[in-house]
């Protein structure tokens, strides 16, 4: 059975735990990097990994490794500070790669 994980600050991820997702609270970008590497080591176990936007800029190299593979899908979510726009940028880039143009404008 495929699983879903959430990587982010403790305040962000604990709400997802109540929904049955695997909560991976981290306090630094390095800790998030190690967690992401651990979760993707056997990528067949995780279909989706949500990553808090505030950590994504420090993990961009790690995230980019999975942008062209179907699983795991790494999706950026806003943290408690609110959206930074990184998730939308990633979505627009993915659509442009798939369709050949930005149809979301």
Rounded to whole angstroms, how far apart are CA atoms 4 and 23?
9
The residue ranges of every structural domain in the chain are 3-99
Map residue 100 onto helix, strand or coil. Answer: coil
Q: Measured between alpha carbons, how far is 87 from 53 in angstroms, rounded to an integer?
A: 7
pTM of the model: 0.76
DSSP state of 45: S
pLDDT tens per residue, range 5-47 = 999 999 889 888 888 899 999 999 999 999 999 998 865 689 8
CA dihedral for 14, 17, 21, 26, sign (positive or negative): positive
- CATH among 3.50.50.60, 3.20.20.30, 3.40.50.10580, 3.40.50.150 for 3-99: 3.40.50.10580
pLDDT band at 90 (very low <50, low <70, confident <90, very high): low
């Amino acid at each position: 059975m495929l699983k879903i994980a959430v990587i982010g600050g403790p305040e962000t991820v604990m709400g997802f735990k109540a929904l049955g997702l695997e909560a991976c609270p981290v306090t630094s970008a390095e800790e998030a990097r190690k967690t992401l590497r651990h979760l993707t080591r056997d990528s067949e176990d995780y279909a989706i990994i949500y990553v808090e936007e505030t950590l994504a800029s420090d993990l961009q190299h790690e995230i980019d490794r999975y942008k062209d593979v179907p699983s795991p899908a790494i999706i950026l979510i806003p943290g408690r500070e609110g959206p930074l726009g990184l998730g939308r940028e990633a979505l627009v880039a993915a659509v442009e790669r798939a369709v050949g143009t930005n149809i979301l404008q």
